Structure 1
């Protein structure tokens, strides 16, 4: 199944590393004009070396004013949005601080320009299954899933589809933060019928499908990319 985004303009947040970076590169290979948003200039510099056609936008999405200004300068409307920017701060419920909730919730806001198109929010299996020491992470991913559904309801009349992908652990730098220890990792992989964590490409392929016209009647779904974890 061939997917093309020729003539489309895409915006990917958190595009400096991991899933966001791989998604930006995949969209460019599929013909999209890609704006890559991250707060780390060094990541943008290396991304441009790998794919010079990408348009870099260096901004901290936690700064609303700076974000508005940066995206205003980016120009005309966006057809495709991948809401990927996130951070991981792991802690037990009794050790959660208000600042941790505030910081992570900040990354769940959507920026969109234009009419018609597709939005994909990057969620997690943790939105639907409690994980020890992931209090804030689980709570915010659960909120993101419901935000996805409300956005699908309210933006559907404008022909804007909104879906989320909900991966199991992906061994990006963020994934390694919580799951690099083999003993801890085995407690998760033993519960995944396929017996392994996800590769970045597994998630990117699902994102591309949901962004594309191949999923033109798919709206408001939370798509597990988890090897069967949530099914069991």
Structure 2
């Protein structure tokens, strides 16, 4: 998808790997100034070499105080992609407080915090904007051992709608993308077992998983004026999974 984001400043969380990294690269190639946020500095160093001129920010978004310090004065942002997430696999009966807190702090609480910082500045400047929350089909279906992850993504669905309702009068749109298994390094690990991979793929009418590019294209569409009348919605990038 070829879109022009020249003159706009964007912020992408979870920018070091996978969907976040490719989103940074796509926005950079489309002319946007990009603030790339992740907790792994080596990922930022390599990303900065690929995308000269990006603004790297190394912070653990699960830490409220550190996030406020790192992003509280980040300045004008027109486009926000909340992509940071952790997947901590534990059976429901064995979920620990640490895993629960970590999952909700990174996957959901950071979306609140970063979006508040960005949206307040948009409103103060009187500028329209677009926010995209990267969710999952796990917001709609459950998987064994992923209770906390599914819960955070289910909550993100309602958060996206609530943000869209309250921020809409300020001309700020909020949407989500909900992909199935995506062939990032993490996704490839999930599908590495031939039997599990085959069974999972057979659940998808298109008999395929999602490519990173598929998700990035949906993110770019929702960020752009091409989706000017879309807010409070979620795009399923699931190869038909929820239709089966």
Name the TM tier (shorter chain): over 0.9
Q: Which moved more, 1:177-186 or 1:142-151?
A: 177-186
1:77 paired to 2:93: no
Structure 1 residue runs of 5 or longer lacking an equivalent are none
Question: In 1, distance between residues paired with 2:190 and 2:97?
Answer: 21
Q: Is the 8 A contact 2:2 2:30 kept in 1?
A: no
Alignment size in residue pairs: 231
Dislocated runs of 4+, deviation >4 Å: none
SS of residue paired to 1:223: strand
Correspondence for 1:185 among 197, 201, 205? 197
SS of residue paired to 2:190: helix
2:233 matched to which residue of 1? Answer: 221
Question: In 1, distance between residues paired with 2:131 and 2:39?
Answer: 21
1:106 paired to 2:105: yes
Question: In 2, distance between residues paired with 1:48 and 1:63?
Answer: 24
Where in structure 2 are the equivalents of 1:1-232 lying within 5 Å? 2-74=2-74, 76-107=75-106, 108=108, 109-110=110-111, 111-112=114-115, 113=118, 114-115=121-122, 116-232=128-244
Structure 2 residue runs of 5 or longer lacking an equivalent are 123-127
Tell me how far 1:177 sits from its aligned partner.
4.0
Give deviations 1:151-189, integer Å, cap 9, x for gaps: 111111111110000000012122234332121112211
Question: In 2, distance between residues paired with 1:197 and 1:141?
Answer: 19
Question: In 2, distance between residues paired with 1:179 and 1:93?
Answer: 22
Question: In 2, distance between residues paired with 1:217 and 1:24?
Answer: 24
CA RMSD of aligned residues (A): 1.3
Question: In 2, distance between residues paired with 1:126 and 1:229?
Answer: 11
Question: In 2, distance between residues paired with 1:186 and 1:90?
Answer: 21
Question: In 2, distance between residues paired with 1:214 and 1:56?
Answer: 28
Q: Label 1:98 to 1:179 Cα distance change in 2 as closer, same or farther (>3 A).
A: farther
TM-score, normalised relative to structure 2: 0.91
Q: Which moved more, 1:51-60 or 1:170-179?
A: 170-179
TM-score, normalised relative to structure 1: 0.96
SS of residue paired to 2:56: strand
Tell me how far 1:126 sits from its aligned partner.
0.9
SS of residue paired to 1:186: helix
Q: As a proportion of its length, which structure holds more helix?
A: 2
